[in-house]
Structure 1
Amino acid sequence: MLLSRRGVIALFAAAFASPTFGADPIKHGFLATGAETFIADESGKVTWKYPQSSRDGWVLENGNVLLALSKSKAYPGGGVAEIDKDGKEVFAFRGVQSEVNTVQALGEGNVLLTEAGDKPRILEVNRDGKVLAEVPLQAQTKDHHLQTRMTRKLPNGNYLVPQLLDRVVREYDPKGKIVWEVKTPHMPFTAIRLPDGNTLIGCTLGNLVIEVNKDGKEVWRVTNDDLSNKPINDACGVQRLENGNTVITSHHATAKQTKLTEVTREKKVVWTYTDDRKSGIHHFQILDARGKPEKHPLR
């Protein structure tokens, strides 16, 4: 049966109005650190894994993976390592205190890490393992594990440090002087200095993420009360994407529970990741379809 011109137009209009012709669904690949260390592509397929638990990590521009490693027989005080895609260790630095919880690649091949222990500190080291900078941190020492997490060096040369049991995020200068701080409603795990000067903070077992301005005033927050099915379960790792959305990990999620959740500024869930692993994700890095990181990752 032949359709009239009006009928053809109506058919196409109906088709394009259907979900099939809507915007492409959001997909992400990512690096996951935690009890299991792996890279998954946009379909969720594991394309790389490393047989040791980790605390923090980055896929580098050369395709290698830089990791903060958990305590083990090989790394009794924790450490950092750069691993190539074949699983070969091309750089390593072993911690000498209780734990190493942070790693960040700096310029000229140098690496930042934090050590937890009786003398909590930030270190910058070169590829020969030489300590280039040492910054003492003001933190409680009764519980080494809850001293610090995702410390990041800022463009101004200072360091942004979430301090869990102290329930504070502090900015230290290179001499260890505190130049800015903000109290948090729960233990802070991730702190991200945004381009506008605000700071995004993941608050672990509070199951919430907050954003504060330069004066420490809260200007945005998202909690399970804002989201259907309450997907946040230990808001450890956080990343602010270039589109303004925020991805949050659920470190205590187990098999078949949501491990990663992406929300808009309006607190709409636009992407989630779930798998069958019993362990959650400690921290993560969102990757593009080629497995490459964003050019300016805010995490």
Structure 2
Amino acid sequence: MSLSLFCKAQTTIDTVRSSPVTVPGKGLYEHDFLYAGEGGPETMFIIKGGSVVWTYTHPAKGEISDAVMLSNGNILFAHQFGITLIDQQRNVLWNYDVPDGNEVHTAVPIGNNHVLFVQNGKIAKVIVINIKTNKVEKEFEVPVGNPEQVHPQFRHARLTNNGTLILAHMDLHEIVEYNSDGKAIWSLNVPQVWGVTPLKNGNVLVAEERIPQVEEYDQTGKVVWSYSGKELPGFKFGGWQMAYRLDNGNTIINNWTGKGNKTPVQFIEVNKQKKLVWALRSWDQPADLGPSTILQIIDNKNRPENVRFGNIR
């Protein structure tokens, strides 16, 4: 292709908007939140009162697929080749590096002394480690679709109120609930599963990345609520990886995509009636947040470490 034709094609691409000029909500002022996303560099942000009040860039290769702020302000994050716990002074409090040939994309704090994570690999495992003693207190193998293809095996897992683990088997196209002995007690076929969020009512909120679509499943496997990117005319989406249910019943969904011409949205929020009430689009300094994966609403009620896995609390 000649330079003139390339420039013309590039201009055409860059002038195609991925979202309307005006989007609903108050932008960065809508919520206080922790933000992180898959994409270099490995940077996380805390937004309060509409401004970036804290950032951290991790000096390592990989991508941040999971991050959570504990009630004491410390932040635990999984970054493909390791898991790190830092305080807000950016001191490393604990770190785990995966063995060669393995990856880790999700980590869950259990109280202040334990971390549960899923280690992708030829032999994939769920592991619970005591971060005070660095001793593994629980470990069991989980099946994968292809032991030789480590990267696409798992992205996300969360603990339920019953002390069980919901795990998204990306390369097996299913979600599975495991008890603390490693026994599969429930499963459901979900073709493009990426993220899973157990809800207070016992249902599971699932994000299917490539469709993109979010479904809420009850324990019988019935879809009781769903939302698709096709329901928002005027928006173009990359991949939906994560979905979060707020106390008011609204659902926040990430849109994993590049900056492009700065018109893609990074998160959307819809209510029960599927009305769009907020869209986050922040690609300019001093709040160029980059690609999105994780968003955690910050409020005084947030105690994400108040979970258990069997008898481990």
Deviates more, 1:93-102 or 1:267-276: 93-102
The range that moved more, 149-158 or 160-169, is: 149-158
Shift in Å at residue 222 of structure 1? Answer: 0.3
Q: Map 1:26-175 onto structure 2 (within 5 A).
A: 27-34=30-37, 35=39, 36-42=42-48, 44-52=50-58, 53-70=63-80, 78-96=81-99, 97-127=101-131, 128-140=133-145, 141-175=147-181
Report Cα offsets for 1:50-102 as digits up to 9, x if no partner. Answer: 212422011111111111123xxxxxxx1111111111101112222421111
Q: Quickly say closer, same or farther: Cα 1:261–1:172, change in 2 above 3 A.
A: same
Structure 1: tracts of 5 or more residues without a match = 1-22, 71-77
Matched, 1:294 2:277: no
TM superposition shift of 1:253: 4.2
The alignment's TM-score, normalised by the length of structure 2, stands at 0.78
Q: Matched residues in 1 for 2:237 and 2:34: separation?
A: 19
2:264 is aligned to: 257
Aligned AA (1:62): N
After alignment, is 91-100 or 212-221 more displaced? Answer: 91-100
CA contact (8 A) 1:148 1:164 kept: yes
Cα deviations by residue, 1:231-259 (Å, 9 ceiling, x for unpaired): 54311021111111110001124233100
CA contact (8 A) 1:103 1:111 kept: yes
Over 3 Å counting, the alpha-carbon distance change for 1:79 and 1:224 in structure 2 is same
- Counterpart residue type for residue 27 of structure 1: E
Q: Which amino acid aligns with 2:248?
A: N
1:84-124 CA-partner distances (Å, limit 9, x unpaired): 11111011122224211111110242111111010111111
SS in 2 for 1:51: strand
CA deviations 1:31-68 (Å, max 9, x no partner) are 22222422242454322222124220111111111111
Q: Give the SS at the match of 1:225.
A: helix
Structure 1 residue 153 displacement after superposition: 2.2
Q: Are the equivalent residues in 1 in contact too, given 2:159–2:198 (CA < 8 A)?
A: no
1:135 partner letter: F
Give the letter aligned to residue 126 of structure 1. Answer: N
Structure 2, unaligned stretches of length 5 or more?
1-24, 306-313
Give the total of aligned pairs. Answer: 265
How many Å separate the matches in 1 of 2:257 and 2:301? 25
Question: What is the CA distance between 1:135 and its match in structure 2?
Answer: 2.1
1:146 alignment partner, SS class: coil
1:285 equivalent among 271, 274, 296: 296
Is residue 81–residue 89 contact of structure 1 (8 Å, CA) maintained in 2? yes
Q: Distance in 2 between matches of 1:106 and 1:199?
A: 20
Cα offset, 1:147, TM superposition = 0.9
CA 1:191–1:162: 2 relative to 1, 3 Å: same
Letter paired with 1:280 = P
CA contact 1:27–1:42 (8 Å) conserved in 2: no
Contact 1:60 1:293 in 2 (8 A): no
Describe the superposition over 1:265-291 as per-residue Cα deviations: whole angstroms up to 9, x where unpaired.
Answer: 111111111111484112221224xxx
What is the deviation of 1:136? 1.2
Of 179, 183, 187, which residue of structure 2 is paired with 1:181? 187
Deviation at 1:182, TM superposition (A): 0.8
Instruction: Please give the per-residue CA displacement for 1:183-227, whole angstroms capped at 9, x wherever unaligned.
Output: 11x321111221222111011111110011111111111001222
Q: Aligned pair in 2 of structure 1 residues 61, 149: CA closer, same or farther (>3 Å)?
A: same
Structure 2 counterpart of 1:56, which letter? D
Q: Higher relative contact order by CA 8 Å / sep ≥ 6: 1 or 2?
A: 2
- CA distance in structure 2 between the partners assigned to 1:194 and 1:283 by the alignment: 17
Report the Cα offset of residue 156 of structure 1. Answer: 2.4
Q: Distance in 1 between matches of 2:217 and 2:198?
A: 10
- Distance of aligned partners of 1:40 and 1:256 in 2 relative to their CA distance in 1, 3 Å threshold: farther
CA contact (8 A) 1:69 1:101 kept: yes
Indicate if the aligned counterparts of 2:69 and 2:304 stay in contact, CA closer than 8 A.
no
Partners of 1:266 and 1:156 in 2: CA distance: 29
Amino acid at match of 1:210: E
| 1:267 aligned residue (251, 254, 274) | 274
CA offsets per residue over residues 161-181 of structure 1, 9 Å max, x none? Answer: 011121101111223221111
CA contact (8 A) 2:250 2:270 kept: yes
